[in-house]
Structure 1
Amino acid sequence: MKAVMVTGPGVNEFVEVEHPGVGPNDVLVKVRACGICGSDHMYTMYGGIPPRQGATPLGHEPAGEVIEIGANVRDVAVGDHVVTNPMAAADGITGSGGAQGALSGYLVLIDAVAGTHYRVIPKDIPFEVAALNEPMAVARHAVNRSGAAAGEKAVVFGAGPIGLGALLSLKAKGVAHVVVIDVLPTRLAKALQVGADAVINSLEEDVSARLIELHGAAAPVVGVRTTRPNTDVYIDAAGVAAVPTTVFGIVKQGARLVIPAVHKKPVEVDFGALLTTEISIIMSMGYPTEIFEVTDDIIANWQKYQLIISDRFDGADALQALELAATPGAADKVMVTFD
């Protein structure tokens, strides 16, 4: 079969690989959809991931159909639709340095355990929506790390896939009011479609003043003369220095800033100025427990999640899909589907 692999720095190619075999405890999945992640471009630029430098299979956002099971497998049947846990793969993280990638025809789940390696989903959920499960788990982990609770007020910076996923998870947690901030009108319009209570274009509006209108004014902070928004949680899904810098200048006492975004440049922080705010700065990476936690919300609200997908490609055009996803500003969530 053919699999998309990083074959050198900046080079992706279709490579012929052996069709995976199925052992007595394994589950063979026909990949039906796979999302493209920003990290796929990073792996390409690096020329792969050790120990597979120059030969890294890509694709870690799969959904598919079970087509064969081992003799000892009991919790899934041929024909079931599933999402998988790339981080639990026995042969290395799927599409992120492991032996297999989901931008291929098939995945074999070695020593597969239901609830650990895969989860069966209803057959009426489109495969392309189910394939959002992995990035939405990243967003859910950020929300879990924030401790956001029912009745609180939150802000999400960045209306890309992770930001929209965070919006949906915040609403699922019962957060009372969620504002999404971005600089692109098309993204802000989509955020409203997905369920944002309000949006702010930070190029055109004063973020602090608008948040005070939306969330009210917080109690004064000792040593700070400015009035600040009564916002409880900020999530940085943008990864640009302007986001934490903005938050540091407007945060109320005891608020939380969670950063799931990858910052490629250092951010200067004046901890002296932040001391009396008692802000919690929380980093967030991956999905230690959230990979199948988020699945229930996707099943219940798949029409909203479907709005996150911006571009679709057939499997034969996976290289073009990777190229589009790597072009700044050209697309939001790129999805590859397979017959």
Structure 2
Amino acid sequence: MRSVRVTGPDRVEWVEVDPPVAGPRDVLLAMRACGICGSDAFYTHVGGIPPRQGATPLGHEPAAEVVEVGSQVTGLQVGDHVVVDTMRLRDGLLGSGGAQGALSEYVLVEDAAPGVQLRVIPEHIPWEVAALNEPMAVAHHAVRRSGAAEGDTAAVFGAGPIGLGAVLSLKSLGVGHVVVADVQPSRLEKALAVGADAVVRSDEEDVVARLRELHGEATDALGHAGKAGTDVYLDAAGVPAVVQDALRAAKHRAVLCIPAVHKEPVPVDFAQVLAAEVDIRLAMGYPSEIFEVTDAIIEHWERYARIISHTLPFERALEALTLAATPGAADKVVVTF
């Protein structure tokens, strides 16, 4: 079968490999869609992920159809449409250093069990939307880590897929007012379409001043004014200016949650923010949220579909990777099979 793999630094190619064979406790999946993630470009740039450096299979945002079920597997049947917990496969993280990747024709789930590695979804959910399950789980975990609650105010920096997913999760929790900041007008329009209450063009406006207007004036623990009334900040952009703006705006005991991958160290003067007692939290992956977000996608799949900007067939997967890695060229790229 064909598989897209990193074969060296800044080199990704088609590779012919033997298709996996299902045993009595396994399920064989035919890939039907796979989203492209920013980390795919990172994996390619560094030449793969040890111990598979130089031969890393790509693709960790899958939607698939069950095509073979082992004799000892219960609760799954041929023809089921499924989403996958890519962190629970026995042979490693799917598409993130494990033995398999979802940018392949088939993926084998060993010791398969519904609710563990796989979740069956209704057949009317488009494959490309189902493939959003993994990145939306990342966003949902970040929102959970932030502690955002009903009636809070929040600011999301970055209106890419994770930022938009965070907006959807924040609003589902009853967060009262969500502001999204980005530099691309098209992304801000999309943020409003999925439920943001207001947007800020961060390359043209003073984000902190706008947050004070939208969320009210606040102080730090010592009564220093000039802070925003925002309860939760979420960095889905991964640029130093976001962290600095959030800390500059943060009121007493505001929360800054960072799911974004920062490629360079971020300078922070903690003496300047000490009086705010800011709670800085990191969020990675989805320890328990992968199938929680599935319910939201099933109920509101049309809203989630707005996140996708491009769909390309599997034959153009290499082009899809390039498109997704080109700044400003696309929002969310999904490969369909």
TM over 0.5: yes
Helix, strand or coil at the partner of 1:295: helix
- Match of 2:326? 327
> Offset of 1:301 from its aligned partner?
1.0
Q: What is the alpha-carbon distance in structure 1 between the residues aligned to residue 152 and residue 132 of structure 2?
A: 26
The superposition leaves residues 274-327 of structure 1 with CA deviations (integer Å, 9 ceiling, x where unpaired) of: 111111000111111111111111111111111111111100010100111111
Consecutive unaligned residues in structure 2, runs of 5 or more? none
> Offset of 1:224 from its aligned partner?
5.3
Q: What is the alpha-carbon distance in structure 2 between the residues aligned to residue 237 and residue 182 of structure 1?
A: 10
Aligned residues: 337
**1:254 paired to 2:253:** yes
Higher deviation after alignment, 237-246 or 208-217: 208-217
> Offset of 1:213 from its aligned partner?
2.0
Helix, strand or coil at the partner of 2:137: helix
Q: What is the alpha-carbon distance in structure 2 between the residues aligned to residue 15 and residue 53 of structure 1?
A: 15
Letter matched to residue 140 of structure 1: H
The superposition leaves residues 141-184 of structure 1 with CA deviations (integer Å, 9 ceiling, x where unpaired) of: 10000010011110100000000011111011111111000111
Percentage of pairs with the same residue? 63
Q: What is the alpha-carbon distance in structure 2 between the residues aligned to residue 301 and residue 46 of structure 1?
A: 37
- Match of 1:276? 275
Helix, strand or coil at the partner of 1:115: coil
- Match of 2:16? 16
Letter matched to residue 176 of structure 1: G
Q: What is the alpha-carbon distance in structure 1 between the residues aligned to residue 211 and residue 273 of structure 2?
A: 19
Q: What is the alpha-carbon distance in structure 1 between the residues aligned to residue 150 and residue 57 of structure 2?
A: 41
Q: What is the alpha-carbon distance in structure 2 between the residues aligned to residue 208 and residue 49 of structure 1?
A: 39
- Match of 1:288? 287
- Match of 1:179? 179
Letter matched to residue 158 of structure 1: G
> Offset of 1:222 from its aligned partner?
4.0
- Match of 1:192? 192
Relative to the length of structure 1, the TM-score reads 0.97
> Offset of 1:266 from its aligned partner?
1.4
Helix, strand or coil at the partner of 2:281: strand
Matching of residues 73-222 of structure 1 within 5 Å = 73-218=73-218, 220-222=219-221
> Offset of 1:48 from its aligned partner?
1.2
Letter matched to residue 235 of structure 1: L
Relative to the length of structure 2, the TM-score reads 0.98
- Indicate if the aligned counterparts of 2:217 and 2:225 stay in contact, CA closer than 8 A: no
Letter matched to residue 200 of structure 2: I
Letter matched to residue 169 of structure 2: S
> Offset of 1:332 from its aligned partner?
1.2
Helix, strand or coil at the partner of 1:145: helix
Q: What is the alpha-carbon distance in structure 1 between the residues aligned to residue 200 and residue 55 of structure 2?
A: 43
Letter matched to residue 51 of structure 1: P
Letter matched to residue 312 of structure 1: T
Letter matched to residue 276 of structure 1: A
Q: What is the alpha-carbon distance in structure 2 between the residues aligned to residue 87 and residue 222 of structure 1?
A: 41
- Match of 1:25? 25
- Match of 2:227? 228
Helix, strand or coil at the partner of 1:309: coil
Consecutive unaligned residues in structure 1, runs of 5 or more? none
Q: What is the alpha-carbon distance in structure 2 between the residues aligned to residue 281 and residue 48 of structure 1?
A: 30
Letter matched to residue 255 of structure 2: R
